[in-house]
Amino acid sequence: AQSVTQLDSHVSVSEGTPVLLRCNYSSSYSPSLFWYVQHPNKGLQLLLKYTSAATLVKGINGFEAEFKKSETSFHLTKPSAHMSDAAEYFCVVLWDRLAFGKGNQVVVIP
């Protein structure tokens, strides 16, 4: 069965340090890939998406993600965490429909 794996359900980072959220998927072909962010009491907002163009994708708020087919990964990074980055992040993969990872809850420590 196709699946999306996000390890580390809770991630703590210090303000100003890099953020790395890992996402791996199981698939025999290259799907479309997305990262969404959900701030407290808000709906999900698209951060970035990969649709078979450049493998390094830049998104909003300084985030970027790199698609690595050989590793079936789509990890999300940001060079320097800001307090406003505290939120839950979902890796989402499109096969015949969207499949969501279980999310990373990011806490930013001042």
The backbone region for 20, taken as left when phi is positive above 0, alpha when psi lies in -120 to 50, beta otherwise, is beta
Q: Which residues have a Cβ under 8 Å from the Cβ of 28 and sit 6 or more positions away?
A: none
- Based on CB atoms, which residue is closest to other proteins, 59 or 62? 59
- Residues 104 and 69: their CA atoms lie apart, in Å, by 22
**Does residue 90 interact with other proteins by CB under 8 A?**
yes
| Three-state secondary structure call for residue 103 | coil
Q: Which stretch binds other proteins (CB under 8 A): 13-21, 62-70, 73-81, 93-101?
A: 93-101
| Three-state secondary structure call for residue 8 | coil
**Does residue 63 interact with other proteins by CB under 8 A?**
no
Place of tokens 């196709």: 2
**Does residue 59 interact with other proteins by CB under 8 A?**
no
Count, residues near other proteins per rule CB under 8 A: 20
**Does residue 2 interact with other proteins by CB under 8 A?**
no
Place of tokens 């990373």: 104
**Does residue 43 interact with other proteins by CB under 8 A?**
yes
**Does residue 44 interact with other proteins by CB under 8 A?**
yes
Residues at the interface with other proteins (CB under 8 A): 9, 32, 34, 36, 41-46, 49, 90, 94, 96-98, 100-103
